[in-house]
Structure 1
Amino acid sequence: MARNLILVGLMGTGKTTVGRALGAKLGWEQMDSDQWVEEKTGSPIPTIFKDKGESYFRDLEAEALQEICERENQIVTTGGGAPIREQNRRLMKEKGMVVALTADYETILKRVRGDENRPLLQGNLEERVAHLMEQRKGLYDFADLIVDTTGKDVEKIVEEILDGVRHQ
């Protein structure tokens, strides 16, 4: 088994929920890079974006991944934009098996609707989700395994991931 299982994907694909379930199944701790940033700064991510900007947040996110990935036998859940930086993609590949979660437009829209903690979705939700999906197309292709979460319950997704891990 890989040293870490690192979940990447667009917001609303189920990284946090699936990460928790994977951690419980394997007896591994789940570490979330967004949570790390919030605990480190004492500020919610939307506030960081508003006050300091996206670039500052991406610096903190890279620092979070660096620190989190020093440990092993954990599920690492990342923010949707974590793979934007090449250094983050390299680190994730080096420190574990990267699993990209995907979902179709309608599923993502349903999952993120009403969530005020997503600074990149301010404004017209439908347009923002469509734009992010287009902007990040191909971003997660570096992953070792890609799992579509559309129409599947958490247990099914966890089994798919574990099957994929066993066959790597």
Structure 2
Amino acid sequence: MVEPERISSNINNIILVGFMAAGKSSIGKKLARRLGWKYIDTDAEIVEVTGLKIPTIFKKYGEVRFRSEEKLVVKKLREVTSAVIATGGGTVEDPDNWSVLEELGIIIHLFVPLEEAFKRIGKRSERPLLTRSEQEIYDLWQSRLKIYNKASIFLDTTNKDLDDIVNEIIEHLKGGSVDNVSKN
């Protein structure tokens, strides 16, 4: 069995934020495995609690209901320690959610340029966000960037292998220096 990586002991949780297709879920799972921590995906928690897939919630009940469920899931995270938490792209738009996430641990912004996000998504059209016009998506990306950039750490995921990104995060959290990871 591989020994879990050790990071700074004053980090209770690691919260991953960023736009859709930034790699939050994929990176979060790998990072949690490497640290020997729990992995929590807020979108998956919403699905578990409601028994409905996210596109179904949006279609049947609308974004307001989804955001309400999301807020409840985020509040429950206060009970969690030693977890890597992948958030939905819009979770951070609610100031109360952002406050809870800041309390929980270190927030890492996984940056993805919008064009790259579209490439990664490809034909996966089940994402509710993709029902909007390109201009609306661009405007949303711009407005969310302002919030994401309040994170403690910024990491550009463009043209990087998932393992390399995880290694960069771990190295940074150990106190090492990484070229394209910056502390905000």
Give the corresponding residue for 1:66: 75
In the aligned structure 2, how far is the partner of 1:38 from the partner of 1:9?
20
Give the corresponding residue for 1:43: 52
Instruction: Give aligned pairs, total.
Output: 167
2:121 matched to 1:96? no
Give the corresponding residue for 1:165: 173
Preserved CA contact (<8 Å) 1:29 1:75: yes
* 2:141 counterpart (124, 133, 142): 133
The correspondence of residues 146-165 of structure 1 with structure 2, limited to 5 A, is 146-165=154-173
Q: Which has the larger radius of gyration?
A: 2
Q: CA deviation at 1:52?
A: 1.3
In the aligned structure 1, how far is the partner of 2:88 from the partner of 2:132?
20
SS at match of 1:137: helix
In the aligned structure 2, how far is the partner of 1:93 from the partner of 1:23?
19
In the aligned structure 2, how far is the partner of 1:13 from the partner of 1:146?
12
- The aligned amino acid for 2:67 is R
Q: Which runs of 5+ in 1 are unaligned?
A: none
Give the corresponding residue for 1:56: 65
RMSD of Structure 2 on Structure 1 (CA): 1.6
More divergent stretch after superposition (154-163 vs 81-90): 154-163
Preserved CA contact (<8 Å) 1:7 1:76: yes
Q: Which runs of 5+ in 2 are unaligned?
A: 1-7, 176-182
In the aligned structure 2, how far is the partner of 1:12 from the partner of 1:131?
17
* 1:109 counterpart (109, 118, 139): 118
Preserved CA contact (<8 Å) 1:6 1:75: yes
1:15-52 Cα shifts (integer Å, max 9, x gaps): 00000110111011110000000111111111111111
1:80-138 Cα shifts (integer Å, max 9, x gaps): 000001111111111111111001222111111211331011155x5454233223231
TM-score computed with the length of structure 1 as normaliser:
0.92
